[in-house]
């Protein structure tokens, strides 16, 4: 279900409606109004589904927060690499941020390090 479909559709219908009204096309006007009515009905259904999901989510979230305090700390940045407390080595920030992979970087020279996975040079 794409929640924006009926909204986009009714916007298009509104444009058609103003054309139909301007050209005094009564039967076309009636058709468009009945389409708009069913679109609005669909939007109402979608919104009420979303409302239920939001209520559910916020219920779940408040219980989750109470049970588990956030333990994932953001890694520290050093020499352009991430270092994790309790782990030795310099890790590629790009691989960690994009894929959640901890890739140990290797030293290229005194100023630069390189990631063996994504080949980005870090300093």
Pairing of strands 121-122, 106-107: unpaired
Classify the C-alpha dihedral 114-115-119-123 as positive or negative: negative
Alpha helix (H) residue ranges in 1-123:
5-22, 26-67, 93-99
Looking only at residues 76 through 105 of this chain, which bind Zn ion when binding is defined by CB under 5 A? 92, 94-95, 103
The contact mask relative to Zn ion for 39-78 (x = CB under 5 A, - = no) is: ----------------------------------------
Query: If binding means CB under 5 A, how many residues of this protein chain bind Zn ion?
Result: 7
Per rule CB under 5 A, is residue 17 in the interface with Zn ion?
Answer: no
Q: Which CB, 10 or 105, lies closer to Zn ion?
A: 105
């Amino acid at each position: 279900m794409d929640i924006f479909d009926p909204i986009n559709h009714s916007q298009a219908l509104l444009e058609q409606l103003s054309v139909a009204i301007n050209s005094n096309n009564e039967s076309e006007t009636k058709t468009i109004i009945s389409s708009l009515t069913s679109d609005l009905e669909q939007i109402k259904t979608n919104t009420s589904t979303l409302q239920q999901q939001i209520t559910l989510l916020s219920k779940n979230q408040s219980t989750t927060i109470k049970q588990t305090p956030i333990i994932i700390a953001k890694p520290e940045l050093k020499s352009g690499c991430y270092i994790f407390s309790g782990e030795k080595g310099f890790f590629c920030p790009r691989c960690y941020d994009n894929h959640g992979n901890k890739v140990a970087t290797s030293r290229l020279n005194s100023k630069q390090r390189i990631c063996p996975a994504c080949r980005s040079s870090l300093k």
